[in-house]
């Protein structure tokens, strides 16, 4: 059998066979450039990506914490990476900005800061000063602010994830987890929230008329219930937690998630103001 020597187009290495033994580049044959092969490649890429995406999404819903556990243990081939899933859902979420989860309008920022009188006055003074500097009234400034903060929120959501990961080092220090493992865990929680409490909830309210019944109280109940579901199920899966400690730590994390969200929104507020 005759062995033909090929010169690699990428690295210049001389080799035999279909693949360069130095860089892995494949020899391109005429059949590889046919429309049939082109169609086969597209079909395989779409079905493979879709199957991993759907499978990963389903695991986040059905078995919270399982994806993160598999990922940190090195079992990554079968699933989409948590961070990749997060980026896809984060992009999709900003096409459905009905539910303000990680994004926050100027009105939301001013109302949420009302729990602390100092912050309320500070935010109001900052807004008034900035609007005066720009020579616009509050209504016009709100429109400008809201358009700007949407784009920044997409880039800054990971700040919330990192902040929310901080207490996990203390709560689960005996589990000998790396801090990045806790971040992966919170990335999965963020994916869950983007899917359930942002995208799905926005679609449901838009097409069923349930939006008329949603208010701050009902949304708070939904957020608490869904996040408790995730934290309890995921803590069993990922941290092997159980008993009264499971419930107590889940409640503590719920409280800190609120703190992390307010800190994130505060950072988002000042970054948005600074960028205008």
Q: What is the pLDDT of residues 161-183, one digit of tens each?
A: 999 999 998 898 888 788 999 99
The set of long-range contacts for 142-150, using a CB threshold of 8 Å and a minimum separation of 24, is 142/105, 142/106, 142/107, 144/276, 145/105, 145/106, 145/272, 145/273, 145/276, 146/105, 146/106, 148/272, 148/275, 148/276, 149/103, 149/104, 149/105, 149/106, 149/268, 149/269, 149/272, 150/94, 150/97, 150/103
- Angle between helical axes of 35-62 and 179-193 (0-180°, round to 10): 100
Please give the average per-residue pLDDT across 131-160, as a whole number. Answer: 88
Query: Which pLDDT value is given to residue 82?
Result: 87
Is residue 256 predicted with pLDDT exceeding 90? Answer: yes
- In this prediction, residue 1 carries a pLDDT of 43
Q: Which residues contact 215 (CB under 8 A, 6 or more apart)?
A: none
Q: Residue 212's CB: how many other CB atoms inside 10 A?
A: 8
Rounded average pLDDT over 211-226: 81
* pLDDT surpassing 70 at residue 100: no
pTM beyond 0.85: the answer is: no
Per-residue pLDDT, 47: 52
pLDDT at 223 over 50: yes
């Amino acid at each position: 059998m005759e062995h033909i020597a090929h010169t690699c187009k990428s690295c210049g290495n001389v080799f035999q066979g279909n693949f360069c033994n130095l860089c892995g580049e494949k020899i391109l044959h005429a059949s590889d450039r046919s429309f049939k092969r082109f169609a086969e490649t597209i079909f395989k890429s779409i079905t493979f990506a879709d199957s991993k995406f759907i499978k990963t999404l389903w695991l986040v819903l059905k078995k919270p914490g399982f994806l993160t556990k598999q990922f940190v243990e090195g079992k990554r081939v079968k699933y989409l990476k948590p961070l990749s899933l997060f980026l896809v859902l984060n992009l999709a979420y900003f096409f459905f900005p009905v539910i303000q989860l990680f994004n926050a309008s100027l009105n939301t920022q001013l109302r949420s800061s009302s729990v602390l009188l100092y912050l309320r006055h500070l935010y109001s003074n900052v807004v008034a000063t900035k609007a005066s500097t720009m020579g616009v009234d509050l209504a016009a400034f709100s429109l400008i602010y809201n358009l700007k903060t949407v784009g920044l929120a997409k880039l800054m959501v990971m700040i919330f994830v990192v902040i929310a990961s901080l207490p996990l080092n203390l709560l689960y220090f005996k589990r000998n987890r790396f801090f990045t493992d806790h971040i992966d865990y919170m990335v999965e929680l963020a994916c869950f929230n983007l899917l359930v409490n942002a995208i799905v909830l926005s679609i449901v309210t838009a097409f069923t008329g349930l939006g008329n019944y949603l208010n701050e109280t009902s949304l708070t109940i939904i957020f608490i219930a869904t996040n408790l579901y995730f934290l309890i199920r995921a803590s069993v899966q990922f941290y092997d937690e159980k008993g009264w400690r499971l419930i107590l730590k889940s409640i503590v994390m719920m409280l800190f998630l609120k703190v992390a969200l307010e800190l994130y929104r505060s950072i988002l507020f000042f970054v948005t103001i600074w960028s205008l």
